[in-house]
């Protein structure tokens, strides 16, 4: 928990420019019970709070019968020199890569997901609706 809180602090730090974050989340994560209803409520409240930050974009990806990012969770980070590095979760371990072919495939996946994602305001409305379920 402490490590996660420390990682999240970069989103609103004052000693340096805050990091920009765009999160594309499958609509299914809003309704899938993880932990308890109280845990879900707290997590969804956190999503709403983060979505209000000027440097954070949270968009919900509608599945519409098609899986959203079935390769698993991944992060693409753009460094200060504009180079990119990706971190991908697997069942066994996390993998970090800066291999151009890997980055190209992840970029393609991001484009597909963004094309299916709701705009920020509609995403926030969907998150608020999910919060009602867990309240």
Q: Residue 98: what pLDDT?
A: 96
Task: Give the pairing type, strands 94-97 and 84-89.
Answer: antiparallel
Q: Tokens for 52?
A: 């209000």
Q: Residue 4: what pLDDT?
A: 60
Which residues of the chain are modeled with pLDDT < 50? none
Residue 94's SS3 state is strand
Q: Of 3, 9, 134, 125, give the one whose Cα is nearest residue 60.
A: 125
Distance CA 91, CA 134 (A): 28
């Amino acid at each position: 928990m402490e490590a996660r809180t420390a990682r999240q602090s970069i989103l609103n730090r004052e000693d340096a420019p805050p990091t920009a974050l765009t999160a594309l989340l499958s609509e299914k994560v809003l309704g899938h019970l993880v932990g308890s209803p109280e845990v879900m409520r707290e997590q969804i409240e956190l999503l709403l709070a983060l979505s209000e930050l000027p440097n954070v974009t949270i968009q919900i990806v509608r599945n519409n019968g098609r899986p959203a990012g079935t390769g698993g969770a991944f992060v693409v980070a753009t460094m200060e020199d504009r180079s990119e590095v990706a971190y991908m979760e697997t069942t066994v371990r996390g993998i970090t890569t800066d291999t151009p072919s890997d980055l190209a495939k992840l970029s393609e996946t991001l484009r597909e997901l963004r094309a299916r994602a709701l705009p920020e305001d509609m995403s926030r409305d969907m998150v608020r609706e999910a919060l009602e379920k867990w309240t």
